[in-house]
Chain A
Amino acid sequence: MNKTIHPIEPEELMAYLDGELTSDRASATAAHLGKCAECQGLATELRSVSQGLKAWKVEPLEPAIPPAIVAALADDRPAGGNIPPAPRRGWREVLGQHWPTLEWVGTAAAIFVVVVGIVRLIGSGANNVYSTVPAQMLDSGSDRDRLAARSSPAPMSAAKEAVTLIAPDKQQPAAGHDLVANGPMIIRTAQLSLITKEFDKARANLEAILKRHRGYVGELKANDTTGSGRTLTATLRVPADQLDATLTEVKALGRVESESQSGQDVTSQYVDLQARLANARNTEQRLTDLLRNRTGKLSDVLQVEQELDRVRGEIEQMEAERKTMANQVSYATLNATISEDYKARLQVVPPSTATRLSNAAVEGYRSMVDGVVSLALFLLADGPRLLLWGAILFMPARLVWKKVRRSFAA
């Protein structure tokens, strides 16, 4: 084994086979091992030594606890009262110790969550699981609320989580099936451009309409540039079944300049996504079982763990995709632009003489300072160079000058 040829030490190779290398070194070693016959030979030798040693087996021991230990347990078993409290207690042993109490508390909590969930679902009056929540978002059109609407992934996720708590494994696919069972899944998008003379009123009315239809503001921008009317650009999310009613009401806020609607059928994509998600979950379960009942080499276990990581990543990605899609279907998007009917106004107040004088004085002072600074900068930057050239050219120039003068004199 020559160090100059092999990037890994023989001891490192052994540590790799024992699963004792850090992951970066392990991957480097695995890569080298894949292509180096000499190291493969050493690995085979090391494995065969371990394998050879495994031949020494020991006969199993009687499973019963010997009487001496039973007696010692009865005599010396540490009594709970005499033991100082353990410095660190894992959740498992705390769980183990208080299991009966926890069972009762857990059951009560589960019943409470189920009851609350059912009441909320009934209270919403719709089969839409999100419908109870967004109302909180609409209370005002203040900037703070709009910021919240923009920065948080919408309160729906909270509602979803609340529902998920009831039955984490069953709720999500069930919601998906409901969505599909209710007919084709269509992402609806509408665009509306309005011109209004009463801009402030229109804006207030828009918020009221949203509140009525249990929608929320996805994004809102207001512009007030001089020389043109004010504009409001908003991305509104309303429950899909409320889109038509909302559109009618919003159109009444002013004169419609343009309007468009589109619908994208994502039923097949959604069903496909769900199938892939179910497959990935099955794979995850199988890998987890494999890890739990592991009997193989450490390198195999590592490989299974890597695969498990990858599958989990995929599941998370698909789950996020599914949620986004379900959200897009449940809530239609309305891009509304409301512009003010602009009336140009004369600027009635000309600037006063005092203001103009003081502005002129400030300007004069500023230009003077600028001039001085520019001169100083020029001298500092170019002065030395000019001096140097002057010194070099002075004598020849003088000679030329003298000759010229002499020739003139002659």
Chain B
Amino acid sequence: MVFQFIIYLAYLFGALTFVWALRMLSSPETARRGNIVGAIGMGVAILAAMVAPMNGASNNYIWIIAALVVGGWIGIVASYRVKMTAMPQMVAVFNGLGGACAVLLAASEIINANSFNYTPNFAQTTNILFTLLVGGVTFTGSMLAYAKLEELLKDNKFVLPKHAIFNLVLLVVILAMGIYILVVGLDNSMLMAVAFAVLSLLYGISFVVPIGGADMPVVIALLNAFSGISAMAAGIIYDNRIMIVGGILVGASGVILAMLMCQAMNRSLLNVLVGGFGGGGSSAKAAGDQVVREISLNESAIQLFYSQSVVFVPGYGLAVAQAQKVCKEVDDILTANGVDVKYAIHPVAGRMPGHMNVLLAEADVPYPKLLDLDDANAALANADIAVIIGANDVVNPAAEDDPGSPIYGMPVLKVWDAKHVIVLKRSMRSGYAGIENPLFFHKKTRMLFGDAKDTLTKLTSELKTL
């Protein structure tokens, strides 16, 4: 009895560390310790689950320990090998595996109900099916998100006409099958349960297919919430409090995070999920007669070198080209020459909110140089030059002055307030939102075409000759 008491205490401790970890992760000073606190809590919970008294359990410790070692090794090696730019994909994969774990738990419940002839009651069956559905969607959805972010798959490749309606129909079919299983009883509807699982997995794919580009972070946050919810549902199967509490904490915080991300883009969650973006902009003005003005490397170097203040606006292009370190080199040369260099970080710059901060931190850019939206706009108003490195939609003036634009109302970085604007860009292609950017035709704007890393490297050598 005392032993059971200790186990309960350990679970309680674990659950509290999760809350504590999330709390600490929300503040820059304590974030790192918060993560460690969470890891300790997880360790304690795993230990407690291993030694908790269970009547007649055969324990199979060899299996458990082997699995812990294999999983821990894979996880840690993978997380230390991944490049910082590929971080979002990694999170998606880890997240998907958690969902897959929940699917396996639900599947084993169903198999056991079948082979040992025990009949789960109504509530248990509902919960098993729920775990299967949410876990399945988390698994396949995350894997597809991974494939998209890794660029193994082109965005929108498998989008059906009226995809939103297809998804809705699929969901209704899945729910109808669930109701059938509930009515007939799980032990009498094995085939139907298998079909339910398959369609749940399919739904995960279909759910993520129409969503692409800048919306991916929102989906990952949402799938993260789903993995939490599936952990919670699995916790109800095992009547395990720490799974329930941990799962629902992640579920709630994931939903909040997805909503915060949508807010930064001034869009609703529903809008993102239906995937009605791109190709739009009925009022996007024809750009035919507008002039694009180019600038040479040499000229940009001179302008930057003799300016007083420069604001870099890094975007997705910088992340893709892995140009953060070269960017820092340019920064160093300019700073040494007395130029005041700052970075304007849009909330959704990069592949995930905060991703750009991580990348620039990796390149040793001092934290106080990174400005968030409001500070950045204040700095831009006084800046001599704004250098845009692979950002597009987050610096689109149409968000301010074109009510017909699909991104109208989204808070943007007002780079056009600076005296001059230099845009580093691979080509004149439009951004992820697929809309024209009038900034490129602005009278203050000069374009510097080429791969971001390549251009910045050349710019460094130009600057060194000055």
A and B from one complex? no
Binding site for B on A (CB under 8 A): none
